[in-house]
Amino acid sequence: MAQKELLGQIVEVDTDGHFVDYKVWCEDMACEIAKEEGISQLEDGHWKVINFMRDQFCESGECPSLRKITKQSGVDTKEIYSLFPIKPAKTSAKIAGLPKPKGCI
Amino acid sequence: MSEKAEPIKKVSIVISKGGLEDVYPGLIMANGARMEGIEANLFFTFFGLDAIIKERMDHLKVATVGNPGMRLPGGMAMPTMLGGLPGMSAFVTSMMKKEMEAIDIPPVGEFIEMISDSGAGIYACKATVDMFHLKKEDFCSQVNEIITVGEFYEMAAGGQIIFT
């Protein structure tokens, strides 16, 4: 297990940089992780996705599939690919402080 | 381990068969490629064209005849003779669709829309379109173009080709 420093706090992450414990995450950390992923500013659309994913994860213990996100969060497929152009499911999970999504869809 | 392998940047996936179990692997691979930031193109040919024909795309069926891999619910091997019984293909198809929906795999029409919206290209094979006397209007709106095999190779340049 690796560690990284975010906003002066030591956070445990997996080898791909996903949080081990989603509870240590905060919104300011999301902005920092987003910058590392090449997203300079988190807009409303990003937050819609991040908040939806965290709500779903709290409920079910799993990251929602991309299909679920695009059907239920209010951000459709075209938009999610423009918000998170590279690896939308993984990148949004990483920014939201969640583990790597396990689904194929 | 030797040095890290070069990541795949582009794939062109050919779907040449029209059974439900023939079409989905290619769709899942194309969608999965886009999810990984890989450029993807889908090329439909022969009976695979059914997956992008408006009237047919959501009515694909599992081939139960000549399929020794078929299992009964519970996991017992299904005698291949049973595959030919009337209604068997429809029954197995509805079972499989239910299982797919449970793990969030969309119906073909929705999946094609999702893949197209993700930025992948969707193409139909000109030779087959001519052979089957099909027209552009027969296809779903996500089909970018009807192209020749030569154009397919041009489009696939610099990437990997996967034939299914």
Instruction: Write out pLDDT tens, residues A27-63.
Output: 999 999 999 999 999 999 999 999 999 999 999 999 9
Q: Is the dihedral of CA A103, B7, A21, A92 positive or negative?
A: negative
The residue in chain A having the minimum alpha-carbon distance to the alpha carbon of residue B100 is: A105
CA dihedral of B25, B31, B32, B38, whole degrees rounded to 10: 130
Spell out which residues of chain B touch residue A68, defining contact as CB-CB under 8 Å: 104
ipTM reported for the complex, 2 dp: 0.92
- What ranges in B20-143 are assigned the alpha helix state H? 20-35, 88-102, 108-117, 126-131
Q: Supply the mean pLDDT for chain B.
A: 95
Active site residues of A: 104
Among chain B, residues having any CB pair with chain A shorter than 8 Å are 28, 31-32, 34-37, 103-106, 113-114, 117-119
Read off the amino acid at residue B56: R
- Asked whether the predicted pLDDT for residue B1 surpasses 60, the reply is no
Size of interface A-B (CB pairs under 8 A): 35
- Asked whether the predicted pLDDT for residue A92 surpasses 90, the reply is yes
- Asked whether the predicted pLDDT for residue B137 surpasses 60, the reply is yes
Cα separation of A103 and B12, whole Å?
Answer: 22
